[in-house]
Amino acid sequence: MNPVRLSLYALVPLCLLFTGCFLDKRSEVRLTEEPSIERALDLLAGAPEGKPLTKFLIKHPVTFEFTDTPGLCHKFSFKTRRNYLPKEYKRSETLLVLALARSAYIYRLYSLSGLEEVISEEEELGALFQARIGLAINLTNRDFERNRFAGEIQSGFCTYIMEGSRSAAIAARDIALASQPECHRPLETLKGQQAWMEETRKAMDNESFFQLFYERDMRKVKKGLLTAGEAMKNDADIRATPMDELYRYQRMFYDRKGDSFARMEKLYGAALKDDETWRAVHRQTIDAAREEFSACNMPK
């Protein structure tokens, strides 16, 4: 198998491989140039929970790469359709699958919602999905013990199996909202973005309208999402825009944002229900994991 392509064989019943079925080469999608990430994609595709996500990636391709920048976290460049994974997981097949799963799941939420940047709710759902994948691939204590960078993944997984989904989501939110510029954090929440949009609507006819946009961009500067020069240019551009164009832009902006918010709320609710159903069906798997990870999150 070409190491830089994701083979669809992992997605096709084994019997089809022996019946002369023809797989058009156009159905193979280039998702990475890293052999270790290619292997992780195949393992993700082999998990029941990961199969639909892998199919989504094939229909909506994105490139997965390792990053050399500081921060033990995934990062996104949506404009260039690239997801960056921590290089510290490169030699740990299991941890790399988990990091990839979370990153890919968040990319899916971004694509379906139409939001312009990652928000806390997406990280929360990504954490739940990552834990389910961990259970699906038979994660063990040794997988954590063999990698000194496993701390955050281990903590999230342990919280999920020991304390439940709500606690795991809250823990993920706490991390997402904490200041960590090297990981483009703190993230915003859906409610925070909705409140900001309403403020701009009310401020349309006074100076604070421009200030609200400028302050938003400066927050992005602090998180490393924009440069100071880009923020200043954006401010100059919007101030130079004629008012009739601004009103027209405002209507389009609010319609687009409102639709994205509604889609995200629907996705969030559906994902929580899916997780609840999954836990009910796999109760025995979770109980077995509690035995395996009986010392989870205990002080060392």
Tens digit of each residue's pLDDT (9 = 90 or more) over 273-285: 999 999 999 999 9
Domain borders along the chain are 8-186+271-292, 190-257
Residue 15 has what pLDDT?
Answer: 35
Tens digit of each residue's pLDDT (9 = 90 or more) over 52-64: 999 999 999 999 9
Residue numbers in the chain where pLDDT is lower than 70: 1-27, 297-300
Helix/strand/coil (H, E, C) string of the chain?
Answer: CCCCCECHHHHCCHHHHHCCCCCCHHHCECCECCHHHHHHHHHHHHCCCHHHHHHHHHHCCCEEEEECCCCCCCEEECCCCEEEEEHHHCCCHHHHHHHHHHHHHHHHHHHHHCCCCCEHHHHHHHHHHHHHHHHHCCCCHHHHHCCCCCHHHHHHHHHHHHHCHHHHHHHHHHHHHCCEHHHCECCECHHHHHHHHHHHHHCCCCCHHHHHHHHHHHHHHHCCCCCHHHHHHHHHHHHCCCHHHHHHHHHHHHHHHHHHHHHHHHHHHHHHHHHHHHHHHCHHHHHHHHHHCCCCCCCC
